[in-house]
Structures are given as C-alpha cells and as structure tokens.
Amino acid sequence: MIRRFYVMPLNPGATEERIDEFLKALSDSDRFISGLLDSSAGVDLDTRTVVWEMTFVDEETYTGPYMVHPYHMATLDNYLIADSPESLAHDIDTTRYTLPDSVPRLEEGVRRVVLMKLPEGTDTSMLETLAAQGEGMAASVFSPDNVAWRFPTKDLNWTHVWEQGFTDMAALNHYLKTAEGIACSSLEGFKRLGIDARSLKILTYPFKLKPAQSPPNIPSEPFPILYTITARTALEDVDTYIDLLERDYDPPLADVGAKLLHRWRTVDHAYTEAEVQSTWQLDSVAAFSDLRIMTVTNPSWNRFVLEGMPLVRSGTRRFYRAV
C-alpha cells in the first residue's frame, strides 16, 4: 500500500468556516474514490497548515483512478488550484512511501509527521533504530520517499518521512520529553545523532479514521464537460482582469484542447462589484488532469496566476455536464 501526506499551508484570510469545509472535503475523499483508504485531514497545532493523510491500495490506484476522479478534479482542486477563486492553500507539498503490512492501524489520536531532506548516501540506521523502539508511540514508521510517480513540476523536497502515531496528547508530550524525542525535534538534535539533515519540517495534528467506505462506481464512458469559472472583482478591476484572461489564460487552455464557449460579464452600473463568467469545453473530466499538468508549467498561465488572481475577490469553479 502507498502512504501519502499532502501538506498545504493556508492562505491568509482563510476563515474557520472555510477551513472546516476544506477538512471535511479532504476527509470525505474515501467515500467517493475507490482504492483510497483512511482519508483524514487536520490542522497542524503550531502553524496554519493543513495535513491530509491517506492510504492507497497500490500505486496503480494512486496514479490512475485517484488522479482523474471527478471528486478530485472538482471538489478537491477547488481548494487547491492557484487559478480557482475558491483556493485556500499555497506552496503545496507531498511525500509518499510504501506502507509495511506490519504497521498497526491506529484509529484516532495525534499524528506527528517528521519530514526530512537527507544527503544522498546518508546512513539512516540510527533513525531506523529509534523508529523501531518508538517509546510511547502507538505506531511508528521511518521510510524514504520511494513512490515512483511524481507530479512532473514537483521537486523532491523531502527524501525521508517518519510517521509517528500517539493515542493522545499526553503520550505525545511524554515522548517529546525523552532523549530521543528531544533529539528528533530539531536540526541540531539530528546532528547530535550524526544525521546531517539539510532541512526538516515537523507537523502535528489530531486525526480520526472512519470505518472502511464503499465508494460508488462511476461511468467509464467519457463525455464532454463544461468547465466554468465565475470570478468577482472590483468594478475598477474588471477590464484588467478580462484583458489578462485573454492574454495569458485563454491561450494555454486552448493549447491543451479546451475550447472557450462564452465569456459573460455583468452589466455596467448595475452592481457594486463586477462578475465575469468563462466557460470552456473539454472532452471529459479526465482530460482536465492532463490540462492541469500542462498548464502549471506554462509561463503564460503562471503569469495570469501572479497578476490576475489577486484581482479576484470571490467566485466559483465548476464542472458541468451538458444535458
């Protein structure tokens, strides 16, 4: 099985209500996507960072059904993609490893994830020993990030991950007071163990797993879809926003097969803010996965994100099936 952690720092201004919606959408993923197990999300106790933990039955599930599932493309990416008016996160990062069958399944408690970047060839035997001892831990796994497929634009920010599970905060606090807990909580501590880590990130959050889910089967036959973004801007920004769409956003979408069907704007002098609605046609929901991968490497698309998205006050991003 494949264990994956998705790390998503929250944008400034994200409200508690929206964050709760985000956490529920992430945690509910195993209700919709076959082969995705133990989906749970929480907020790091020390930073405004969402951590989404999940398990895939195998790498084929991870690279196949999950990547092109409508729930992923629509609901989850609403919160994650930089050109979404509903985006809540930035600097998104992931790490993955092969989960040993022997690891106990902890139903709920506190998760501590230690992400590290180690120089190639580092002797990790000390860390492997400490992970195997796991004083106070209900679950402990140390592993290199060893999953084969990676999003083409993402570098390997973390070479190793140490997943720690505690039954409650008392057990975690006990561990953090031990010599091992102190040593494994900072770059200086790692150096004292003889591990010259290049970088380190530690995330701690509460989690609770659900019983096994039974996602519905989805039709395998592709059908054309309408991809619609509705963006609200200040009245004085609407012309600039439309110019940026035409110059920097439409061309990269057209390059990957998205056909612009219409662009509407609200009537001048009728509302206190402007609204622009753009709709493109795609061959299928799965086609958006290819579009997503190709556009994020496009300089024009990235220029629009940099210059156009700050003009967007609110809005929606939706996929429709023409009827």
Please enumerate in sequence order all residues whose Cβ is within 8 A of that of 259, keeping only pairs 6 or more positions apart, or say none: 280, 281
Which regions in the chain score pLDDT beneath 50?
none
For residue 148, the model assigns a pLDDT of 63
Q: How far apart are CA 7 and CA 204, in angstroms?
A: 11
Q: Where are the domains of the chain?
A: 2-208, 225-320
Please give the Cα distance from 189 to 191 (Å, whole number). Answer: 5
* Cα–Cα nearest to 5, from 155, 109, 160: 160
Q: Give residue-wise pLDDT tens across range 239-256.
A: 999 999 999 999 999 999
Give the predicted TM-score (pTM) of the model: 0.92
Q: What does the pLDDT read at residue 135?
A: 80
Backbone angles phi, psi at 158, to 5 degrees: -130, 130
Residues pairing with 95 in the sheet: 5
Taking Cα atoms as reference points, which of 192, 179, 176 lies closest to residue 137?
A: 176
CATH number of 225-320: 3.30.70.100
Choose which CATH entry (2.60.40.1180, 3.30.70.100, 3.40.50.2020, 3.40.50.11540) describes domain 2-208.
3.30.70.100
